[in-house]
Amino acid sequence: MSLTILFMPESAYGPTNNSIGIGDILRRRGHRVVFAAESSWKGKLEALGFEEDLVDLAPPSEEEQDAGQFWKDFIRETAPEYRKSTREQLETVTKPIWEELIDGAKYCEPQLKAIIERVRPDVIVEDNVITFPALLTAGKKFVRIVSCNPLEVRGPNVAPVFSGLPADDRSEWDDFRAEYDRTHREMWSAFNDWCVEQGAEPLPDLDFIHEGDLNLYVYPEILDYVADRPLNDTWHRLDSSVRETEGEFELPFARNEGSLVYFSLGSLGSADVELMQRVIDVLATTPHQYIVSKGSLHEEIKLADNMWGAEFVPQTKVIPLCDLVITHGGNNTTTEAMHFGKPMILLPLFWDQYDNAQRVEELGYGVRLSTYTFTDEELTGALTRLLGDDDLRARLAAAGEEIRGRDGLRKAADLIEQLGQK
């Protein structure tokens, strides 16, 4: 039975690439896959074989924008706030992000209703952190994908989401939760009222998104919190979800006797050119070689002689070639590094990146550094320690093989198909 499946991912590379990976499997199985992505993705999804029926999350710009440009601009403008603690960021980073997301959901509600009327999907798949009532009130099977850290699904026995607090020390949990309530309660209440006015069920307390008929989350079992926060039987873990749509990649340089390291702060974090350059300048003093994902401001970033980089690199093809990954801790890069069995150095900036960085470090699979105050010796020391830890590298290689064997892409496609055919 051929299905029509409508994907609506967040307008950022992580969720969109995750949806592309799953959607590509479904498309190759003969299903019709349509993307209701944000309009700056125009042409990029069609080139991969998908239908596009795009939405605007704000009044359209007169100038053509790069994919996800709105969030790149937003993140660059709020970059000074990343030097603050996660608790302080609740007011100055996290809340403004929610406000922008809410404005976008409200703006595109009529567009989504029209898209659903045109496309007539059997299944609607949302990979985002916020509810779009039109997706819930269409009377279709609804799938929620969590491609952020799964602390997004909260519980009393796990650290609060966005906190980056340790799992084995609860001393600051209640204070962080109280500050989240203080900074977010009024905004959440107003959004909840609006969702109900659109015909949706009330939201769970202080959550900005509903659960689906099927709920998928992308996180390796060896990092997961499920023992401390059990989930009901509508939830299914995808240990990884690594797209198969990127082209082949060959190293454009000869290997030396040092290690090969991949450095990326993601499509958003790379907009902090000062931070990118600081890391690059320290790495230039080491004997290793580096592949650098430079991002949209690539022309402002100066690489050293032991580096090669580009605005975009095919990350899923680069990581397998490398010995270690230096990352902002975005969920895509974190899970992809685990998928390929690589240790990590993590420099978190905002949102769930702190949670991923904390989880990787507390379980011993990498090192979390203070993003804006690390010393040269801390970064080079972490490199030396992780690259020289043969036992860790062997354990991660074995874990990666197990993760790849679970084939999260096809598991997701199977579950979506099964839901659509019920």
Rounded to whole angstroms, how far apart are CA atoms 163 and 302? Answer: 33
Q: What is the mean pLDDT of residues 341-367?
A: 97
This prediction has a pTM of 0.92
DSSP category for residue 211: -
pLDDT confidence tier of residue 371, bands split at 50, 70 and 90 = very high
Cβ atoms 357, 329 nearer than 8 A: yes
pLDDT digits (tens, 9 = 90+) for 207-242: 999 999 999 999 999 999 999 999 999 999 999 988
According to the model, what pLDDT value does residue 81 have?
86
Q: What is the mean pLDDT of residues 178-207?
A: 98
According to the model, what pLDDT value does residue 72 have?
66
pLDDT confidence tier of residue 320, bands split at 50, 70 and 90 = very high
- Sequence-distant (6+) residues with CB within 8 A of 313 are 249, 264, 291, 292, 293
The CA–CA distances, whole Å, from 257 to 23, 341, 383 equal 40, 21, 15
Give domain 4-243+407-420's CATH number out of 3.40.50.300, 3.40.50.2000, 3.20.20.140, 1.20.1250.20: 3.40.50.2000
Q: What is the mean pLDDT of residues 385-408?
A: 96
Residue 68 has pLDDT above 60, yes or no: no
* 235-260 b/e (C-beta count within 10 Å ≥ 16 → b): bebbbbbbbeebeeeeeeeeeeeebb
Least reliable range by pLDDT among 116-125, 191-200, 249-258: 249-258
pLDDT confidence tier of residue 40, bands split at 50, 70 and 90 = confident
**Other CB atoms within 10 A of residue 25 CB:** 22
According to the model, what pLDDT value does residue 271 have?
77
In this structure, is the dihedral angle defined by the CA atoms of residues 315, 93, 276 and 311, taken in order, positive or negative?
positive
Fold classified for 260-405 = Rossmann fold (3.40.50)
pLDDT confidence tier of residue 247, bands split at 50, 70 and 90 = confident
pLDDT digits (tens, 9 = 90+) for 74-85: 767 777 888 899
In the block, tokens 């704000």 appear at 58
Cβ atoms 141, 213 nearer than 8 A: yes
According to the model, what pLDDT value does residue 66 have?
64
The average confidence (pLDDT) of the chain is: 93
- Which ranges in the chain are annotated with CATH 3.40.50.2000? 4-243+407-420, 260-405
Residue 300 has pLDDT above 80, yes or no: yes
